[in-house]
Amino acid sequence: MTRFWVNGLPEGSVSALDRGLHYGDGLFETMAVIDGTPLLWARHMGRLLAGCDRLGIPIPDRATLAAELERALELADRRAVVKIIVTRGSGGRGYRAPDPVEPLRIVTLNHWPDYPPSRWLEGVHVRVCATRLARQPALAGIKHLNRLEQVLARNEWRDDETAEGLMCDDRGRLVEGTMSNVFLRIRDRIATPRLDGCGVAGTLRAELLEQAEQSGLTIDQCVVTLEDLMTADEVLICNSVFGIWPVRSVAGRDFVVGEMAAALNALAARAGYDARLYGAA
């Protein structure tokens, strides 16, 4: 059962005039909770506040958000998922923002997804989606509420064997998965797609990049093509809930689960993404 709070009120209501509903005018963060601890909380908070600043939404009070999160954590199982949504609040008809703006906050507590342990141990099958991402630098990196491109892409397949779909931009360059970021190893080089035109700069992706730099491991943020994908030696996907899944195959191409997965899993474990906590070891 999902529990939720609206502006701190248990099972509160959302106005039919809310701009998040009408225009996707807002942001959200989704995080894993393990043993009462929200993983990468500081990174999630930082991205949320940066997104509010980018969109011109008054930044929520940190102490208020922390208190509302703590209320949800008190009811969480050993493993759970918490989502925080901030919208610009209610306003009249039209795109122009109301003055003053009174942002809306929603916190939801959700059960842990029932992923099979094989996804961590043996890897996953993924596909390349036909739906493309539009380039919009003003929105690149932040986790805004406009997710229709991902909705269309995710509904391109219905089988349970396919764990994720990879998405390209309108130039055919690989950007991300519908719910994940991508890393590739091509011989001795590790790369991840640059996200300056579109895509979500994931919190676990940011953690891996920082940990790698501190450990002396070079990861290039660069343009990645589908040819790069199909000629890679190793591919993995990651997000802030499931951690890291090695990619076993895409479009008929098989990959090994090798040294990159081992190196990045070791970095992720420092942030709490230990496979044993997921029931995967």
83 is catalytic: no
Beta bridge partner(s), residue 137: none
C-alpha span between 70 and 52 (Å, rounded): 21
Burial of 97 (0-12, 13-18, 19+ CB in 10 A): middle
Q: Within this chain, do residues 38 and 156 fall inside the same structural domain, yes or no?
A: no
Q: Which alpha helices (H) appear in the chain, and where do they start and end?
A: 19-23, 41-55, 62-73, 118-121, 148-154, 203-215, 226-231, 259-269
Beta strands in the chain (DSSP E): 3-6, 9-10, 26-34, 37-38, 79-87, 104-111, 124-128, 162-168, 173-177, 181-186, 189-193, 219-222, 224-225, 234-239, 243-250, 253-254
Q: Within this chain, do residues 185 and 259 fall inside the same structural domain, yes or no?
A: yes
pLDDT tens for each residue of the chain, 281 residues long: 689 999 999 999 999 999 999 999 999 999 999 999 999 999 999 999 999 999 999 998 889 999 999 999 999 999 999 999 999 999 878 999 999 999 999 999 999 999 998 999 899 999 999 999 999 999 999 999 999 999 999 999 999 999 999 999 999 999 999 999 999 999 999 999 999 999 999 999 999 999 999 999 999 999 999 999 999 999 999 999 999 999 999 999 999 999 999 999 999 999 999 866 665 54
Amino acid in the structure at residue 163: A
Q: Kindly name the residue from 30, 87, 192, 203 that is annotated as catalytic.
A: 30
Q: Are strands 234-239 and 243-250 parallel, antiparallel or unpaired?
A: antiparallel
Q: Within this chain, do residues 86 and 150 fall inside the same structural domain, yes or no?
A: no
Q: Within this chain, do residues 145 and 81 fall inside the same structural domain, yes or no?
A: no
131 is catalytic: no
- Residue (of 102, 76, 72) closest to 90 by Cα position: 102
- Residue (of 153, 159, 158, 206) closest to 177 by Cα position: 153
Range of the domain at 226: 118-278
Q: Within this chain, do residues 139 and 216 fall inside the same structural domain, yes or no?
A: yes
Model-level pTM? Answer: 0.95
Q: Within this chain, do residues 133 and 252 fall inside the same structural domain, yes or no?
A: yes
CATH number at residue 63: 3.30.470.10
Domain count, the chain: 2
Q: Within this chain, do residues 21 and 84 fall inside the same structural domain, yes or no?
A: yes
C-alpha span between 68 and 107 (Å, rounded): 7
pLDDT at res. 92: 78
Q: Which of 111, 135, 150 is the last residue of a domain?
A: 111
Q: Which of 72, 91, 111 is the last residue of a domain?
A: 111
178 is catalytic: no
pLDDT at res. 177: 98
Q: Within this chain, do residues 154 and 98 fall inside the same structural domain, yes or no?
A: no
Q: Which of 84, 111, 138 is the last residue of a domain?
A: 111
CATH number at residue 148: 3.20.10.10
Q: Kindly name the residue from 29, 68, 164, 176 that is annotated as catalytic.
A: 176
pLDDT at res. 91: 85
C-alpha span between 15 and 237 (Å, rounded): 37
Q: Kindly name the residue from 68, 143, 203, 207 that is annotated as catalytic.
A: 143
Tokens, residue 233: 């030696």
